[in-house]
């Protein structure tokens, strides 16, 4: 049975069963990834940015277990889907049933586009392609094992930056007086259209950036920020963001790393990332890995990551579909 579900009022048993299914999915599809813990899972599923909504569904079997889950985040003009089915229940049509609920709802809410992140080398590729989703963007995920880091070299790199710049570290997020400059730096590279569907959070105006940081905290995801400051003007010349999620605190997520175009060529990218690693090592003693996603044509970033010891792991795709077409395919009566 598939039913709509509200994580805010879900019972602890439901949260636990959902976690069991998620970890079975990870063990089958991404066995190298750390299992999730029962920490902030409710908040992870229920907290959203202002103006965004998440609607969720569960599949429940006769014994009360929850072998399938779907949710859609409605943001801007797109619905972004997450959907998974327990490995023991696959190829029974459950994902298709869940997706039909999602797509009908997205259609009823007036959205015309739907997107999904799909992990390369997993059955999700065939599932979404069988339904006519088109691959719109490709990234490579890379993982850095902290045990392989040359800490002496990284410590030196952290202290090496062009004259006229300094690097500052802000666990939890930058102070209010730097938020404006931080947003300006993010906006400076936003216009370099990279074809990304923007399925992952990124915020370009100060108010939205504050909301975004607050939302991360509510979801149990602690942001660490390192900024490069141009000393003469006080401008934010570069930034790097890492988030340590309570759900899998041994593996952190690298979010944006940005060097504003006019400040490129001064070793800022290297210095920021190296300083971040040095700080994380003492701030998060449980942390063993950092993962990051890069477009394959982002050569400068890939070079710095390779120097630090990041190893390419998997391709990661964004797929998209037109909602009325997809609904018709899922439910030809429509």
Cβ neighbours of residue 323 closer than 8 Å, sequence gap 6 or more = 79, 103, 106, 107, 111, 112, 113, 114
Helices of type H across 136-239: 151-158, 176-190, 206-218
**Residues of span 129-168 touching ligand COA by CB under 6 A:** 130
CA dist 48 and 73 (Å) reads 9
Pairing of strands 165-171, 78-85: unpaired
Q: Shortest distance, CB of residue 93 to ligand COA, whole angstroms?
A: 5
Residue 95 binds ligand COA (CB under 6 A): yes
Q: Which stretch binds ligand COA (CB under 6 A): 106-114, 117-125, 215-223, 325-333?
A: 117-125
Instruction: Indicate whether 326 belongs to the interface with ligand COA (CB under 6 A).
Output: no
- The correct pick among 25, 75, 103, 179 for binding ligand COA (CB under 6 A) is 25
218 phi and psi angles, rounded to 5 deg: -60, -35
* Among residues 30, 113, 187, 295, the one that binds ligand COA under rule CB under 6 A: 30
Number of residues that bind ligand COA (CB under 6 A): 21
Of 126 and 134, nearer to ligand COA (C-beta) is 126
Q: Rounded CA gap, 175 and 170, in Å?
A: 8
Residue 29 is a binding residue for ligand COA (CB under 6 A): yes
Residues 197/318, Cβ–Cβ less than 8 Å:
yes
Q: Which is nearer to ligand COA, 205 or 253 (CB)?
A: 253
Listing DSSP states for 38-87 in one string gives SSSHHHHHH---TT-EEEEEEE--TTS---EEEEEEEETTEEEEEEEE-G
- Closest distance between ligand COA and the C-beta of residue 70, in Å? 9
Of the residues 13, 126, 134, 153, which one makes contact with ligand COA according to CB under 6 A:
126
208 closest CA partner among 75, 86, 326: 75
First to last CA, the chain: 22
Q: Which stretch binds ligand COA (CB under 6 A): 4-12, 103-111, 115-123, 300-308?
A: 115-123
Q: Which CB atom, from 142 or from 203, has the smaller least distance to ligand COA?
A: 142
**With the C-alpha atoms ordered 17, 26, 224, 51, is the resulting torsion angle positive or negative?**
negative
Is 333 near ligand COA (CB under 6 A)?
Answer: no
Q: Which of 24, 78, 124, 268 binds ligand COA (CB under 6 A)?
A: 124
CA distances from 91 to 40, 85, 195 (A): 31, 9, 32
Residues 45-84 that bind ligand COA (CB under 6 A): 83-84
| Shortest CB 27 distance to ligand COA, Å | 10
CA-based torsion, 204, 209, 213, 219: positive or negative: negative
Instruction: Give the shortest CB-103-to-ligand COA separation in angstroms.
Output: 13
Counting contacts by CB under 6 A, is residue 96 touching ligand COA?
Answer: yes
Q: Is 123 in the site for ligand COA (CB under 6 A)?
A: yes
Among 119, 138, 184, 246, interactor with ligand COA by CB under 6 A: 119
Q: What is the DSSP string of 149-177?
A: --HHHHHHHHT---TTEEEEEEETS--HH
Q: Interface with ligand COA by CB under 6 A: which residues?
A: 25-26, 29-30, 83-85, 90-96, 119, 122-124, 126-127, 130
């Amino acid at each position: 049975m598939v039913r709509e579900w509200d994580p805010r009022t879900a019972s602890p048993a439901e949260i636990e069963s959902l976690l069991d299914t998620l970890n079975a999915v990870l063990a089958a599809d991404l066995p190298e990834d750390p299992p999730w813990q029962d920490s902030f899972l409710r908040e992870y599923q229920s907290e959203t940015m202002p103006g965004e909504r998440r609607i969720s569904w569960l599949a429940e079997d006769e014994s009360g277990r929850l072998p399938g889950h779907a949710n859609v985040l409605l943001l801007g003009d797109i619905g972004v889907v997450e959907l998974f089915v327990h490995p023991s229940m696959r190829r029974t049509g459950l994902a298709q049933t869940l997706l039909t609920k999602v797509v009908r709802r997205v259609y009823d809410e007036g959205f015309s586009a739907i997107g999904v992140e799909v992990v390369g080398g997993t059955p999700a590729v065939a599932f979404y392609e069988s339904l006519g989703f088109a691959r719109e963007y490709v990234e490579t995920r890379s993982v850095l094992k902290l045990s392989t880091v040359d800490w002496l070299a990284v410590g030196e790199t952290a202290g090496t930056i062009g004259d006229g710049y300094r690097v500052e570290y802000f666990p939890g997020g930058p102070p209010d007086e730097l938020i404006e400059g931080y947003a300006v730096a993010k906006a400076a590279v936003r216009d370099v259209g990279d074809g990304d569907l923007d399925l992952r959070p990124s915020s370009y105006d100060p108010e939205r950036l504050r909301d975004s940081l607050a939302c991360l905290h509510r979801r149990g995801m602690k942001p660490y920020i390192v900024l490069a400051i141009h000393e003469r003007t006080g401008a934010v010349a570069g930034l790097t963001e890492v988030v340590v999620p309570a759900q899998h605190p041994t593996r952190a997520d690298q979010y944006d790393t940005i060097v504003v175009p006019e400040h490129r060529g001064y070793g800022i990218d290297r210095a920021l990332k190296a300083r971040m690693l040095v700080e994380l090592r003492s701030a998060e003693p449980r942390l063993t890995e950092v993962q990051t996603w890069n477009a394959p044509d982002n050569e400068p970033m890939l070079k710095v990551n390779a120097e630090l010891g990041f190893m390419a792991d998997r391709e990661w795709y964004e797929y998209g579909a037109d909602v009325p077409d997809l609904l018709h395919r899922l439910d030809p009566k429509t």
